[in-house]
Amino acid sequence: MSETMTHDAHHEEHPGGIKRWLFTTNHKDIGTLYLWFSFIMFFVAGFMALVIRAELFQPGIQIVDPNFFNMMTTLHGLIMVFGAIMPAFVGLANWQIPMMIGAPDMALPRMNNWSFWILPFAATLLVAPMFMGGNFMAGQGPAFGWTFYEPLSGQYGHLAFFVFAVHLLGFSSIMGSINIIATILNMRAPGMTLMKMPLFVWTWLITAFLLIAVMPVLAGAVTMMLTDKYFGTTFFIAAGGGDPVLFQHVFWFFGHPEVYIMVLPAFGVISQIIPTFARKPLFGYASMVYATASIAFLSFIVWAHHMFTVGMPVAGELYFMYATVMIAVPTGVKVFNWATTMWRGSMTFETPMLWAIGSVFMFTFGGFTGLMLGVAPADFQYHDSYFVVAHFHYTLITGAWYGIIGGVMYWLPKWTGNMYSEKLGKTHFWLTAIAMNLTFFPMHFTGLAGMPRRTADYPLQFTQFNQLSSVGAYIFGFSQLILLYLIIKCIKGGKKATNEVWEGAEGLEWTLPSPAPYHSFNTAPEVK
Amino acid sequence: MSLKHNNIMTKGLVLLGLWLGGIGSSQAEYKLNFQEPVTAVAREIYDLHMLVIWICLGIAAVVFTMMIYSIINHRKSKGAVASDFHESAKVEVAWTIIPFIILIAVAIPATSTLIDIEDTSDSDLTVKVTGMQWKWKYDYGDGVSYISSLNAEHNRARQRNSGIDVTQIKNYLLEVDNELVIPVNKKVRFLVTSDDVIHSFWMPAFGVKKDAIPGYVNETWTRVEKTGIYRGQCAELCGKDHAFMPIVIRVVSDADYKIWFVRKKAEAEIAAAEASADKVWSKAELMAKGEDIYKGKGGCFGCHGIKGEGIATFPKLVGSAVTTGPAAEHMKTVVKGRPGTAMAAYANQLNDLELAAVITYERNAWGNNASIVQPADIKASR
């Protein structure tokens, strides 16, 4: 490390301490900031989930009042989506994209700094109302669900805080995306054509375009909410000639691509990990790229499958049903590709591979329930029940979040120069995987039996499965402390990592020393 | 070692079984699948649901078996050597086309079921269902219209630290004061709307779920084949008491329905006559009636507290400017609501007498001491 520092000294100053982090324009520092921010938010939102599960451990209201409960479900969702999952992927992109395409840094380093440092302020604005007013337990924060449907959200007293938090998050995402697109399109090493890019880079390129397309739509939705509340407009207020359903159309036009924004980069990570540990090239590279692009395209034309019960005309329902189930085709292509990549490979099962395989199994399961939800007549029964909660936790935890953890484990030796403890990594994986299924699998049953989501209390026939879910959630939550310990331990020391780190690893990042130098590639490598 | 493991596993499974079966004795039974369908639509949905599940399980069997086989056999520790095959146009076309064909096979029955569900024509009876925070209003026309809220005993039990053991309450959270009553084997059309935020009218056994949206009147229908009492809940998050606005539908024979309707209509006429008579009520009468409405039908306590102390961001009524100030402002707030807040307009939910009573109660309970309000004042203020 000190060698690279002196090497860099002639053209860059490195302030120490807090200034290094405040003013940094280095893609690795910023990646680190993003990842730690995401990790903190993950624990904050995870703690909220534990409050939810504690209250739902038995019927009746024991711990928090319904309004506080609703605030917990709302903030858990919002913080996990905008504070934990999305920043984690931007963190991975910051660290990895320059190293994977043979660039020294990101294309727009100052904007990179800004797009990160907006986030803590956005998070503060989002949670600040919780602490307003005299009585904390009354729940002064947003309590209208992460989908903030009008007109319910319009009844919220501190709406402006929420709206500006979303605006800031949007700025951050858009700037992050511009940076990623500019970097990928302009800074690839000579010889690295688009169709030679690693899949993680491809999935992020497509994700970045999705973000740029939909974040302004979200900003538009919250701005209309703001003017409805404070400036007398009635975009979403029926009494003034507005339309509450319009809100849902606008929200889900953002919301459905958002789902793929959270999961496509994870597909990218899994597509890097599986070939490495199967010691065999990805079965169909080109078809993976096309499948990613198809999923991204389809994500724009299926939004109203989240709103089958709002009373659309039957023709609209039929269209959205057909378009939605179509997504199963490119998603299937991805799963088949991963399975055939493993087939007749020479597999080893280090921690990143466990996360990747776990993800393929369980995300596929979440995909099946997704197909079920896409079938409109059946969706009338599933909609807004715990079945949906089970479905999207299978896609977001075992899809997006498994991808993140798999990626962190995969690249951690490259970042720190040290190997992490396989024993801790595997313990963490298995505890998490078992607890995850214990928590969310029973929710399919409670949902089918008729338990609505977002309720602070429930009829007695749902007791048993809710207790299982609560036990699972606590095991899940506390298992994550192992991950925290593992990462700190790996940063502090451990067995030195080689440049290649993994026996079967291919790609430019593995040609760099471990830990990777401050500026990744000062001279562009040649890609054949 | 492995024996010990097996022991632990067996013990664990036995414990789990005991617990799942055992606690059922004091609590309702859990279920693994949809509630038993009692309409043709619910049955069609159930069949479709099972069809898709079997297809998914079939695909899962193929894909997961292949993956598990390669995880077991194609591992380096077993000396597997990686082959280098990749890209095969034939395979890739096949795994694009075959799922597509399967999807078409699902889409055909799904389309016909969907068209059935949305066909609300030729109904025998229409009931307008209005969602409001946090109760339902059922309107049959012809003067029969009433509000249905969570049963009062359940409502007490579900308060935090109520001291009541909810597991001893039959049908906890699924019991109301006024059920929706419909005749068996008749096509009943529901017109679903809302007075405030979005709710969702969900009756799982009927296969019916439709959002109640302010400014929209959605249509759905049912034809129930079996008499009995069916229970459901609001499905769309509608604020703090979302969990506490159940839907209970009593399905009766056609003859019983007619009797019920005539009785309900007579009751409504008597209540209306009482409310609109130009009678001047005493303070004690108004206070007694008002307390019933505050803690019952009106649901006022849900936000303002059982002692008017206020809950969360919802204002307290004890000593507040509205409840102790001029009656005109208080009446305006209750009758017309406060736009942009959760305070709904009660003009159509309560009659003049009920409004006068609850306003009087709020102005004179918990140490408040302000003027009383008569039904005639309400009529004048509308």
ipTM of the shown complex: 0.90
Tokens 């998914």 sit on residue: B56
Cα dihedral B273→B277→B283→B289 (10° resolution): 10
The pLDDT of residue A292 is 96
The pLDDT of residue B82 is 85
Cα–Cα dist A134/A291, whole Å: 53
Q: Which amino acid is at A60?
A: G
- Whether A8 is in a domain gets the answer no
Told to judge if A520 belongs to the known catalytic residues of this protein, a careful annotator would answer no
CB of B75 within 8 A of CB of A346?
Answer: yes
Q: Which of B111, B207, B312 sits opposite A381 (nearest CB)?
A: B207
- Whether A527 is in a domain gets the answer no
- Whether A7 is in a domain gets the answer no
- Catalytic pick among A27, A229, A280, A305: A305
Predicted TM-score of the model (pTM) = 0.89
Q: Which residues of A touch B232 (CB under 8 A)?
A: 450
Chain mean position to CA B346 = 21
Task: Answer whether A140 sits within 8 Å of B87, measured CB to CB.
Answer: no
- Whether A144 is in a domain gets the answer yes
Full domain range(s) for residue A437: 23-511
Tokens of residue A487, six digits: 């990462």
Domain tally, chain A: 1
CB within 8 Å of A200: residues ≥ 6 apart: A92, A96, A97, A100, A265, A268, A269, A271, A272, A407
> Cis (ω within 30 of 0) for the bond into A151?
yes
Q: Number of A to B CB contacts under 8 A, please give it.
A: 330
Residues of chain A with pLDDT under 50: 1-11
Task: Answer whether A378 sits within 8 Å of B83, measured CB to CB.
Answer: no
The pLDDT of residue B85 is 84
Reading chain B (382 residues) residue by residue, the pLDDT tens digits are 344 555 665 666 666 666 655 554 445 677 888 989 999 999 999 999 999 999 999 999 999 999 999 999 999 998 888 888 888 889 999 999 999 999 999 999 999 999 999 999 999 999 999 999 999 999 998 889 999 999 988 988 898 888 889 999 999 999 999 999 999 999 999 999 999 999 999 999 999 999 999 999 999 999 999 999 999 999 999 999 999 999 999 999 999 999 999 999 998 888 888 777 677 888 888 888 888 888 877 788 878 888 888 876 778 888 888 888 888 888 888 888 887 777 888 887 888 888 888 899 999 888 888 888 888 888 887 7
- Segment holding A185, helix H or strand E: helix A159-186
Strand partners, B229: B250
Cα–Cα dist A264/A299, whole Å: 11
Cα–Cα dist A250/B12, whole Å: 49
Tokens of residue B12, six digits: 């664990």
- Whether A517 is in a domain gets the answer no
- Catalytic pick among A183, A292, A324, A331: A331
Cα dihedral A292→A293→A299→A302 (10° resolution): -110
Collapsed DSSP state (helix, strand, coil) of residue A243: coil
Task: Answer whether A61 sits within 8 Å of B35, measured CB to CB.
Answer: no
Q: Which residues of B touch A336 (CB under 8 A)?
A: 63, 95
> Which B residues 60-119 touch A at CB under 8 Å?
60, 63-64, 66-67, 70-71, 74-77, 80-88, 91-92, 95-96, 99-100, 103, 106-107, 110-111, 113-115, 117-118
Residue of B nearest to A72 (CA): B240
Collapsed DSSP state (helix, strand, coil) of residue A496: strand
The distance of B80 to chain A (nearest Cα, Å) reads 5
The distance of B240 to chain A (nearest Cα, Å) reads 5
Strand partners, B221: B189
Q: Which of A238, A245, A329 sits opposite B96 (nearest CB)?
A: A329
Cβ neighbours, 10 Å, residue A371: 24
The pLDDT of residue A378 is 95
The distance of A316 to chain B (nearest Cα, Å) reads 11
- Characterize the bridge pairing of strands B188-194 and B218-222: antiparallel
- Whether A6 is in a domain gets the answer no
Tokens of residue B246, six digits: 């159940």
Q: Which of A140, A280, A463 sits opposite B82 (nearest CB)?
A: A280
Q: Which residues of B touch A302 (CB under 8 A)?
A: none
The CATH number that applies at residue A59 is: 1.20.210.10
CB of B352 within 8 A of CB of B274?
Answer: no
